[in-house]
Every structure is written in C-alpha cells, then in structure tokens.
Structure 1
C-alpha cells in the first residue's frame, strides 16, 4: 500500500470500494486492490449495478440462461446481483476472518422502490440474506422514516445492515436508536450479537453540492465564504453524536454481551466541485472506527497524493457547530436541505433501478 493508505489504516479508517462489477471480479481486480490499496470491503447500489450490466459481455452467459428459464426481470436482477455479491464476499472472506468479522463486508441494497414500505423492505432483506448466504454480507436499507422500523426488525433477525442515505444529524440519531433497538431484539431472539455488524452511511459530497448552490444564489461575499464547509461540518458532528451514543450506558450493556458499534461510514466521497481538493472527503474525515467507501477515482487519488496527517475530526466540533450557525444565519435552511437530499436520493436510486430493469429486460428479450 501507499503511505496515504497505510496512514488511513493506522488511523483506524477502513477503506472500502464503492463499486462492483462482474468484470472487476473475473479479472481479479478486486483481489488486487485488497493487496495494493488496502481495500477491506465493498459497497454497491442500484446506480453501480445499472452501469455494470450496461457495459461489456460479462453477464451475457447468465442472462442467456435466465432467458431460457423464463425468469422475470425482477427475479433476474436479484440472481445477477446476488451472484456478484456472493463472489465479492468470497474474495473478501480472508479479511472478514482476519478482522474478527468486522471488515471484509459486502453490501447489497434492497429494491429502492420499497424505501417507503416497512413490511416489504423487511421481507426483501430477509430474502436477499438467504439468497446470498454469506456471513460477511450487509443488507443496505435506506434511512427513511419507514426504513427505521425495518432496520430494527432486520437486525433483530441477526442480519447485518448497512443503513444508507443518511444526511441529517437528526436522522442519524434515529438510525443509532434503531440499531440499539435492533440489537436488543436480536438478543431476545437468541442471536449472537458478536456476529451482527452495522454501518451508518452518512452522505458527504451531496450536502456541499446542494448547500453551495444555495450559497451561490444568495450571492453575498459572506455566503460565498461558506462554500465547501457544510458537508465536512455535518460529518464531523455526526462523529460527535456517534461518540456520545457509543459511550452511553445502554451501549455498554450491549457491548458486554459481545456487540460491536455501528460504525459511521462516509459515503458519496467523490468530490464533485473541481475547486476543492479531490481527496477532501477523505483527509478531512479521518477518525478511528470509521469507514470511507470510495469510488475508484477517489481511491486512486488518495493512493497517489493524499496527505493523511492523523485524526482530523477530534477537536473540530466547536468549529463545525459555528459553521452550521453561520450557514443558517446566511439564509440556508439546513433542515430543508437534508429533507430534499433524502427525497432526491431515493428518487435517484429508483431511477437507476428502473433503468437497470429496462436494460436487463431488453437483454433477456434478445437472448430469448
């Protein structure tokens, strides 16, 4: 590994890859990144799978077999994605074993069209857990209001969960509550708490994109001076909340029974504004016990030239609170921003899912 990636690992940050494809798996690229870039996990989402299935011929043979069997497009998507996730989980299994089940994780998201339906989300999560059948799987569930109850119930089944699409501190605290309730339920259901892992995926770059757009619209020098500060402040305050919850009495009781904390995961870490350093959402969010899931470009940039100088979160909370206050004073309604980003996040994943279904339906038709 390069010095920046070694420094991240030494600082307690797990580096995950925010991408998966059959081509990446069959060429051995994922296995290579584990040794050269210290990758210890993989996250996926509907957009990633839509892109993967649209490119190349890696899926053609399996698609042809599914067409011959007359499988529905919805079931075909489950089978194709589960195959990739299972393969990735097997590739990462040595990391899972070496880290006592903490890392070596692969995430698979429930159908995003179910984001507002608790019952169907629970049923789909259980079905995907059974279908992939690997202990290092994580089921991704969006942190919508309806998703919170599903998160608790799925964890209560002994299933590891990646909670996705978290934008606000208020929602993040609800996610941590749902996690604690889920562990209590799992314990009462007789599950071994040490085998249940969870991460809370806190989205970063999208916050700056939306807030900066509003600051530019305000047009004042004071507003423009606040550009690029919202996302990092938001994530740092999330880590402060994490520290509070996972040092409390309720958590300590669960920890004594073998439970491990729900780690903050920094998602959407690809920098979208070229005015900012391309590794900003890596180097500014270094904290022990976190995960940073990076698209390939961000991983390569980190490997090449990131300056990792140790923990960059502890000791920043006062400044982060001040940044939030300044944004509100400037006229940015952060509650409105976070609500909009959640709605847009769900919609974007639904659009990608429907694009995936349409593309696969065409492939199945051609194969048939």
Structure 2
C-alpha cells in the first residue's frame, strides 16, 4: 500500500506531513508514519496549532501549569508549540541522521506572522524559537515578504536553518534563493560550517489555481475553460527550472565546495481545493529530484490508496508551462496581480489564525469562576 510513497522517495521527493498535534505524537501516529509511510518531515502553521489545541485533551495539564504561573497567552502559545515541535523533532531524529547532510527529518515552526513586515522582529523571533525548541532538526519558518528577505539572509548567516514560506511568484522565488545564498556567504565569512545549514523554499501551489480558476470562470469562454487547473503546476514547474539555474552557476559552486546544501523547493498547499480535480494532482504533477512535497493527511492517504505513476513530471514540461501562463495572460489575467494578492491574503490568513490561536489559548488559561486565579 505504500508503493507510491516509496516511489516518490526513490524519485528524490521527500514526503512531509502538513499537520502536527500532540495527540499524533503521544499516540505513536507520527512515528508510524515515519517508519511505514516514508514521512520524513513535518510542517506546521498557526491554523494547524489552533486546531490541535482546540481539540486536544493532551494539552490540558500543560495549560493548567501555564495558567498557574500566570503567563500571557503569547508566552503560552510559544511554550506549547515549541514543546510539540521539540517532541516531533525527536520522533524524526532517525530520519534526520539518515538523510544527506540532515536535509530531512525536519520539523518547521513559524515565527509570529504579525512580524511578517518587520525584519528586526522576525530575526529576534527566529532566534528565540531556535533557542526554545533547541533541536538541530528544526526549520524556522519565515514568510517571503520583502521584509522577510533580509531576515532570511541574517538568520542563515547565523547558522539557523530556514523554511521560507508563502512563496507564490517566480520573481519572489529568485529573491528568496538569493537571500539564502547571501546568508550562506555571510556564514562562510563568519567561519561557520555550511554543511550544518539547510533550507527549503515553500512554493505554494493549489491557491494559485483557486484564484486563477475563479478569474477564468468569470470569463466563461471555451478558451478560459480549457486553461482551468493549469496555472499552479505551470508556475511551480517554472520555479523548479529557476532552481536548476540558480543552484548550478559559479556563485553556487563556490558555496557547494565549502559544504553548502541546496535550498530545495518545497511544494506547499498541495491538497486540492476543487473537488473535480484528482486528489493527487499536485503530487503527481510535481515529481522531480531534490524537492519536498508537504501533504495534508488526506492527500497523503490519497497517494497511498490510489497510487500514482512515478516519474519526472517537471523537467520535460517547461515549454508547456510557459505556454500555459502566456495563454492565461493573453486572456487578460495578470500574473503579477494574482501572486501579489495571494501573498497579501496568505499573510493575512496566517495573522488571523495566530490571533485565533491566541484567543483560544487565552480562554483556556482563564480560571474557572470558582477556581484559583490562573493569571495575574
């Protein structure tokens, strides 16, 4: 039943799970996925943690202890999420030790998304989360906003491994890769061991189709209908073409000789949003070496149960990818407008989820009406 997942792994696609909860850790579910279903990484975000804390009885003891100490909701959130990230990192440590230069076996934890447009605060938060989780197989997630780019460089130069999230456009992807290379150069100048620094660039997929398809549907022409569901894969495939160019030139070769690791493309948002699409669409269409596909559990199970034809579905498709985006542009749909909107919406959604997470935590920290006050 795991032949498709094994095939992906053999093809150079690292299978990661896009969810985490304490229940999954303590029940052994995550360990089972790692041992039997080729899962070698985990990604998280504020929405995932809010769902976990809202519905997980496993948090009650720690929440009560935090309430007894009178901590703020913000401190409680960082303490709880860091504990989950630390425990998951321990579960995935064998995969970390077995992977080339510790590229896999990683757990990603996100900086407070309210800092998405604040470079200094992002750097400070990334350093704090690195200290708080205290595991070498952690990725700190930093959004690919304009303010996030210098933070990526600075944090990488300090030897901290980064998962750059919310990448939508090809131009922004190139800037993200450049920020990582600049960080590696800074780390090399500081005498750091580059082999211990790793990174992924999370290129979001399905949300592109959701937005472009909506605009195509509004046109209601045969040409528009024929292009539904083509933008996201085209965009991601061209990002991989850029990856091949960036991590093969003279600048990269000098860093590689010093032990540096490539910043792998990570395909994020790979669960389909349109029920008419095959549930494995954004897995089967993005198979290429040196990539990561982080899947919601439903997508992982679809790959496992339905299977898929495993073979490189990216590197032979560059010409068609460019043709698809050009055809969409000819219909009057602006690529720049779409990707800018998606970035702003992505940050806003994470900020909203973070505020919801704070509110959920605040409610759970509040003492019962007849109980001992849990907050100062």
TM-score normalised to the size of structure 2? 0.97
**Separation of aligned partners in 2, 1:170 and 1:77:** 34
Q: How many residues align?
A: 368
Deviation at 1:364, TM superposition (A): 0.1
Q: Which structure 1 residue ranges, 4+ long, deviate > 3 Å from structure 2?
A: none
Post-superposition offset of 1:56: 2.8
Q: How does 1:230-309 map to 2 (within 5 A)?
A: 230-309=231-310
SS of the equivalent of 1:58 reads helix
Contact map agreement 1:236 1:317 (CA 8 A) in 2: yes
1:86 aligns with 2:86: yes
Which whole-Å CA distance do the structure 2 matches of 1:254 and 1:340 have between them?
35
CA contact (8 A) 2:152 2:179 kept: yes
Distance apart, 1:308 and its partner CA: 2.5
Partner of 1:291, secondary structure, is: strand
Q: Deviation per CA, 1:162-221: give whole Å up to 9, x if none.
A: 000000000000000000001001111221100000000000000000000000011111
Residue 8 in structure 1 maps to residue 8 in structure 2: yes
Alignment partners' CA distance in 2, 1:136 and 1:44: 14
Q: Tell me the secondary structure at the aligned position of residue 315 of structure 2.
A: coil
Q: Report the equivalent of 1:27.
A: 27
Give the match's secondary structure for 1:310. coil
SS in structure 1 at match of 2:102: coil
> CA separation in 2, counterparts of 1:299 and 1:263?
20
Q: Conserved in 2, the CA contact under 8 Å of 1:283 and 1:306? A: no
Question: How far apart in 1 are the matches of 2:34 and 2:127?
Answer: 29
Shift of 1:237: 0.2
The one-character-per-residue Cα deviations of 1:287-333 (angstroms, maximum 9, x if unpaired) are 00000000000000001113133111111100000001000001111
Q: Which residue of 1 aligns with 2:97?
A: 97
The CA distance in 1 between the partners of 2:66 and 2:252, in whole Å, is: 46
What stretches of structure 1 of length at least 5 have no aligned partner?
none
Displacement, 1:224? 1.0
2: CA distance, partners of 1:33 / 1:265: 19
Query: Alignment partner of 1:241: what SS?
Result: helix
Structure 2 unaligned segments of length 5 or more: list them.
369-373
- Conserved 8 A contact 2:22-2:56: no
| C-alpha distance in structure 2 between counterparts of 1:265 and 1:102, whole Å | 12
Q: What TM-score comes out, normalization by structure 1 length?
A: 0.99
C-alpha separation in 2, matches of 1:31 and 1:359: 28
1:138 aligns to 2:144 (yes or no): no
Q: Are 1:124 and 2:125 an aligned pair?
A: yes
Query: In 2, are the aligned partners of 1:89 and 1:104 still within 8 Å (CA)?
Result: yes
C-alpha distance in 2 between matches for 1:309 and 1:167: 25
User: In the alignment, is residue 207 of structure 1 matched against residue 227 of structure 2?
Assistant: no
